[in-house]
Structure 1
Amino acid sequence: MASDIDLARNDETDLVLTWSGRWTLTHRILAVNVLTLVLVLLAILYLDSYRNRLERERVHKVEAMTEFAAVALAEVPPARREALMATLSRQSSARLRLYSADGTLAHDSWTVTGPTYRLRDPTTQKWTKDVARALDRGFNALVGEKNDEDFVEPEVDNAAAWEEVVAARSSGKAHTAIRQAPELTPVFSAAAPVGDGSILLISDNDRSFTRTVRKQRGSLLIALAVVLLLSVLLSLFLARTIVQPLRRIALAAHRVRLGRAREVRVPRLPSRSDEIGLLARSVSDMSQSLRHRIDNIEAFAADVTHELKNPLASLRSAIDGLERIEDPALRNQLVDVIRQDVVRLDRLIGDIGEAARTDAELARARFEPVDLGDLIGQLVSSWETRRETGDVRIAFARPRRASALVMGEPSRLARAIDNLIDNAISFSPPGGLVEIAATHVGDRILVRIDDEGPGVPEQLREAIFNRFHSVRPEAESFGRHSGLGLAIARAIVEGHDGEIDVADRDDAPSGARFTITLKAADRA
């Protein structure tokens, strides 16, 4: 138990939020998910845009070089073309091929320079290259990039074997193509007419393009790792702001359920204005209300036990006396005592049941518009019909119809007002007058019940609303009141979010004034 209490009083500073305290849980969760997705999306879009831009630049470079070389070849004699092509091949590391007008291969720079680039077999490369190629395929699939056509040297090398050469011959303009080497590096090629019917084809396996793109993709992987780390940190942040407070609240609720600690302190988190703060304060208020109700039930049970013992003790004494007393007069007196005790017990048990049911019935009741003018009028008529007022008169200043409307449960409100009328009649002197009024003041309805009795001393004005308060008029018949009437009236009024109080009358020499204050109902 001690450990429970100590834990309940732990510092709540680890649950307090600072800058994010005004963010709702929905905002935080959306921020984490959206931020991660946005960062990844931006990185992918940037890299895809970068790759496409770099690819266009390389294609334009090959195309420009081909057009320039075609112009240069057209200006030199045919005998010098092979030497010029070899020079250009050495400078650019590209392969130059010249096809004659009939489509046959006239010159190839590699016959002079040897291969200036080499298509590599992926099976002979390290595993790191396999990983890089797998990442390339994955990224292309992610952005929807179509794979380029595989680059294969034709078995018969002539103009018809190359689409760009055929297109350049038919259109008279330069045409380009991009193919894919076996290790997924690009082969850029361009064909342009020379002017005498021959076509120049330049091809280049640009490995630097792949290295540049893969370097950028490596940067993307680092960025994704940073995003992942950020996502983890944000998830921990959400765990701290959501899971930890919920766990603390759940633990406190569990201790309340077990009931092992008398005082269980549920964290209220006053600095948080989000749903967690609202939940914490609601659970805290609920636990305090539950604790208050349990205390009231315990006190009520103790009071009931005490109140029942008095008439039972009187009954026991009277019954024991009947066995020993032979005098008929004394026996009649004892029988009368027994009768009064039975009446008192009957009244007490009925009022105890009424008091016990009040809170539960109000919690389940569906409030409806109630015209207090009509309700009080029916109560007054009932008192006059039963003639239980003795010679005490009742005067009711009936308000205009529907001018004293409240939202409530009619039978409960009738019981509260009836208890106050009963109390006023019991304290009124012979021939006294009980005055009742219901008025609409601002947004409130005031029900006033005045009597001409001795009034209520100031020091007892709170105590009279306690259960089993037993200060009664000396002339009242024994057992007529249980001391629960005013307590029931207060419980009913407070269950309607109203107030009840008592004061001295200011318009008469003596007497008490009970006032019920309820919120007025909205008129349709």
Structure 2
Amino acid sequence: MSDEPQLALRWSSRVSLTSRILAVNIFALALLAGGFSYLDSFRSRIVDSRVAQASREVRLVAQSLASATDERRDLLVLSLARDTGSRIRLYDEEGRLLSDSRDLGLRNMVLRDPDKDPWGQDVARFLDAVIDRVAGAERAPTYREHEAGLDWPDVRTALTTHGTPATVWRAPDRTPVITAAAPITGLGVVMTTVNARDITTTVRAERYRLGVVLGIVSLVSVLLSLFLARTIVRPLRRLARAAVRVRLGRAREVVVPRLPSRRDEIGSLARAISDMTQALRARIDATEAFAADLAHELKNPLASLRSAVDGLGNVKDPELQAQLVAIIHDDVQRLDRLITDISDASRLDAQLSRATFEPLRLCEVIQALVDQRTKRGLPHGVRILVDQRSGGGPVTILGEGTRLERVFDNLIENAISFSPQNGLITISIGIEGDCAVVRVEDEGPGVPEEAREAIFRRFHTVRPSREAFGQHSGLGLAIARTIVEGHQGSIHVESREDRLGGARFVVRLPIAGE
């Protein structure tokens, strides 16, 4: 499998989930903060509109002054300055100041001294400068009051080129100053100047509203991000700590949180890890118990073998020597059988997990086993009857034939060993619901109710008195249960309902689908 997807996320794998969640949400807020750039274009449109307005007003003022007499000119300048809210100055063709609304007593255009403003205005101007720099707004030149006639050549050139020039300046308090000029035929030039503080006030108000919204949204987003990170990261950290403790060999001390109240993927992950830990704990306990039982079971034949070997060197009687040799031979066979069964039992789970299941007809499998056992001969006059009760159709399951044959062969051998003289063993095959059911019944002494679960434990064996000791390892039924459960089935033992004595082993296996 290619490592490209993992390599593509390598940069983010070094960052915690909390940081990544916060980064994604803050990035979305940064897009919202881009609204400040929109406010800059909004201000530019207002300024352009005011510049156009100033150009129209100065032309109207020029037309009014052109029709006024010299005696009424100052009164008209004062009236027009009061109506337009601007400072009006009138120059002759040589650039000499003829009339000024400020000199006439109307001080409606006064620039503020930023050093005398309260601290709140300083903060506002600082924020304006920061936002303008971030938004890349153009910075207007600083406005300066000129003496009469000082900039007249520039004004005259502009009038000749553009007709009615209007210019935007920046006052010391960062508010815009708009100047406009228009020629008056036969008189000179009229110039208007206005400090448009209302533009800055409007833009600051909009920025304040957007800033408040951005601040509230940022706070809510950060809180929600932290909450989301906590609901995701905190349980993951708990699960990671529990997994580390399990890895360190403390599985019995670890309680993996199952998070039953969570119905999301993290809850599913927590329950999966909890189930996996419990299965691991059960597997560890089973391994420890198996090792203990194995040591105990190996000691018995080894002790008998050691005693026989020690006695063989001291005994001179040929008959006793022959008996000791027979004991040694039986113990070696017993050890060989025990080790073989232990080897099969230890590899069974892994082999079943890799096994390929194929359709099997239970009746044919069991009938073949019965025929082979009958050919080898049945002791004590025992008889075996196979009864298929599946409604006439074949009972088909999915499984591994060799393993299932071992299960039923073990059940048949158990039934033969416990059957009385001329006993009858009945094997019935049927279907109940979506399961195939196989019942192996004998006429022996049966299994006590308190021992019906114990007989499926490893190395647990209770054999008839007529059989020689050590002929069975006690692993047959344990292996049979492992095989059946590996096929998603079940096996148990119960008493027969039609007789006082006898045992009935019941095997349930899921039938094969269409």
- Which bracket does the TM-score occupy, shorter chain normalised? 0.7 to 0.9
Following TM superposition, by how much is the alpha carbon of 1:264 offset from its aligned partner in structure 2, in angstroms?
2.4
User: In the alignment, residue 517 of structure 1 is paired with which amino acid?
Assistant: R
Of the candidates 445, 450, 462, which is equivalent to residue 471 of structure 1? 462
1:513 partner SS: strand
* CA–CA distance in structure 1, aligned partners of residues 206 and 47 of structure 2: 17
Contact preservation (8 Å) 1:392, 1:428 = yes
Q: Percent identity?
A: 45
Of the candidates 81, 84, 91, which is equivalent to residue 89 of structure 1? 81
Q: Deviations over 1:418-457 (max 9, x none)?
A: 3223222322334444333443332222222223333222
Alignment CA distance shift 1:380-1:203 (3 Å): farther
Alignment CA distance shift 1:378-1:135 (3 Å): farther
* CA–CA distance in structure 1, aligned partners of residues 428 and 91 of structure 2: 118
Contact preservation (8 Å) 1:89, 1:109 = no
Following TM superposition, by how much is the alpha carbon of 1:230 offset from its aligned partner in structure 2, in angstroms?
4.1
Of the candidates 359, 366, 378, which is equivalent to residue 370 of structure 1? 359
Asked if 1:140 is matched to 2:129, the reply is no
Contact preservation (8 Å) 2:22, 2:226 = no
Asked if 1:387 is matched to 2:376, the reply is yes
* CA–CA distance in structure 2, aligned partners of residues 247 and 440 of structure 1: 49
Contact preservation (8 Å) 2:384, 2:424 = yes
Q: What pairs with 1:310-389 in structure 2 (closer than 5 Å)? A: 310-362=300-352, 364-373=353-362, 376-377=365-366, 380=369, 383-384=372-373, 387=376, 389=378
* CA–CA distance in structure 1, aligned partners of residues 185 and 365 of structure 2: 116
2:223 partner SS: helix
2:396 corresponds to which residue? 404
* CA–CA distance in structure 2, aligned partners of residues 128 and 217 of structure 1: 13
Contact preservation (8 Å) 2:370, 2:384 = no
User: In the alignment, residue 299 of structure 2 is paired with which amino acid?
Assistant: K
1:515 corresponds to which residue? 506
Of the candidates 408, 411, 414, which is equivalent to residue 405 of structure 2? 414
Contact preservation (8 Å) 1:268, 1:281 = yes
Asked if 1:243 is matched to 2:233, the reply is yes
* CA–CA distance in structure 2, aligned partners of residues 422 and 361 of structure 1: 24
Alignment CA distance shift 1:455-1:54 (3 Å): same
Count of equivalent residues: 482
* CA–CA distance in structure 1, aligned partners of residues 63 and 200 of structure 2: 33
1:156 partner SS: helix
Q: Deviations over 1:376-423 (max 9, x none)?
A: 2475167338616445444444667774223x4444333333322322
Q: Deviations over 1:277-301 (max 9, x none)?
A: 3333222222222222222122112
Following TM superposition, by how much is the alpha carbon of 1:471 offset from its aligned partner in structure 2, in angstroms?
0.7
* CA–CA distance in structure 2, aligned partners of residues 442 and 179 of structure 1: 93
Of the candidates 417, 437, 448, which is equivalent to residue 446 of structure 1? 437
Q: What pairs with 1:142-157 in structure 2 (closer than 5 Å)? A: 147=138, 156-157=153-154
User: In the alignment, residue 132 of structure 2 is paired with which amino acid?
Assistant: R
- Structure 2: runs of 5+ lacking an equivalent: 1-16, 145-150
Of the candidates 292, 295, 300, which is equivalent to residue 285 of structure 2? 295
Following TM superposition, by how much is the alpha carbon of 1:223 offset from its aligned partner in structure 2, in angstroms?
5.2
* CA–CA distance in structure 1, aligned partners of residues 242 and 226 of structure 2: 23
Q: Deviations over 1:17-73 (max 9, x none)?
A: xxxxxxxxxx9999866765555545653x566666666566556655765675576
Contact preservation (8 Å) 1:86, 1:112 = no
Moved more, 81-90 or 304-313: 81-90
Q: What pairs with 1:71-220 in structure 2 (closer than 5 Å)? A: 74=63, 76-77=67-68, 79=70, 80-81=72-73, 83-90=75-82, 92-96=84-88, 109=100, 117=109, 131-141=126-136, 147=138, 156-158=153-155, 161=158, 166=162, 185-188=175-178, 202-214=192-204, 216-217=206-207, 220=210
Following TM superposition, by how much is the alpha carbon of 1:487 offset from its aligned partner in structure 2, in angstroms?
0.9
2:12 corresponds to which residue? none
TM-score by length of 1: 0.73
Asked if 1:487 is matched to 2:482, the reply is no
1:271 corresponds to which residue? 261
Contact preservation (8 Å) 1:66, 1:200 = no
Alignment CA distance shift 1:427-1:277 (3 Å): same
Contact preservation (8 Å) 2:384, 2:425 = yes
Q: Deviations over 1:252-272 (max 9, x none)?
A: 333333335843222222222
Contact preservation (8 Å) 2:441, 2:502 = yes
Q: Deviations over 1:118-161 (max 9, x none)?
A: 789999x99968843541324424xxxx6377588976344762
2:273 corresponds to which residue? 283
2:153 partner SS: coil
Alignment CA distance shift 1:315-1:136 (3 Å): closer
Moved more, 237-246 or 216-225: 216-225
Contact preservation (8 Å) 1:186, 1:206 = yes
* CA–CA distance in structure 1, aligned partners of residues 69 and 428 of structure 2: 126
1:415 partner SS: helix
- Structure 1: runs of 5+ lacking an equivalent: 1-26, 169-174
Following TM superposition, by how much is the alpha carbon of 1:374 offset from its aligned partner in structure 2, in angstroms?
6.7
Contact preservation (8 Å) 1:73, 1:84 = no
TM-score by length of 2: 0.75
Asked if 1:305 is matched to 2:295, the reply is yes
Q: Which has the higher contact order (CA 8 A, sep 6+)?
A: 1
User: In the alignment, residue 365 of structure 2 is paired with which amino acid?
Assistant: I
1:455 corresponds to which residue? 446
